[in-house]
Amino acid sequence: MEKIQHNYVDVRGLKLHIAEIGTGPAVLFLHGFPEIWYSWRHQMIAVADAGFRAIAPDFRGYGLSELPAEPEKATFRDLVDDLLDMLDSLGIHQVFLVGKDFGARVAYHFALVHSDRVSAVVTLGVPFLLTGPETFPRDLLPNGFYMLRWQEAGRAEKDFGRFDTKTVVKNIYIMFSGSELPVAKDDEEIMDLVDPSAPLPDWFTEQDLANYASLYEKSSFRTALQVPYRAWLEEYGVKDIKVKVPCLLVMGEKDYSLKFGGLEQYVKSGMVKEYVPNLETIFLPEGSHFVQEQFPEQVNQLIITFLKKLI
């Protein structure tokens, strides 16, 4: 960890934080929620040791990156445009993208609009998904589903505000480590789904929790609730919905997201290949939504093997 360097890059009027280690072909890691650059700590070191330049930014408004003036107006396209400007600032023309959770959507969006800059895409926990209102299966989801709750302006803020930042992060990690969709009853909020005495996952330490909490105490959850949750229905803005570069998807068999609107069938039946034809999919039998932190050595080997085939 001490070998990882931390710097700031001026990107579209904001100072964005990047963690970096190694030299060689660039591999850019894009975090999800409630994650941050720190969620890639295991992968960055392994990839650097394998001969790559590993870079993990905090998205705008996340962690050590600057908060935009109006976080509630942030969009996925902002993150894509930030990424392009960041690569240009770092002098990187060609990049391997590795995205987790909603970071997967940013990676695929970037590959659609800037295909000439992307060598390959690896995603964890989330496959390629279509976007726009007609593709969000709202009618197939229970009213208390966490994504629907967090899309409501002010609701998550009120819910989270009952606890300190560390407890909020802890609760989300515990919830998202399960195999069931987080769904609250009408008289419950999402934070109520976690028993206060519930332990952290055995692969997630108290020090990890403290590190995450300190980063969210700095950034707050303002941008995080906007992107991904309240910007979720935003479209890619391109006509040719086909990711042409080689792609790898790694998912845990016990990832709760597989129960999201027929996602498991979409992946396992091969329907996803209609949009990502050059896709390899690997499932880890005991894996949760946080496979890269839960099984770092396995995930590291899968990523490195995939990348090395392409250089």
- What is the spatial distance between Cα 47 and Cα 303, in angstroms, rounded to a whole number? 8
Q: Residue type for 21, please?
A: I
Please identify every residue annotated as catalytic. Answer: 101, 229, 289
- Give me 59's structure tokens: 């998205």
Measured CA distances, 87 to 7, 91, 96, 125, 152 (Å):
14, 6, 11, 25, 34
Q: Determine the Cα–Cα distance for residues 31 and 59; give it in Å rounded to an integer.
A: 8
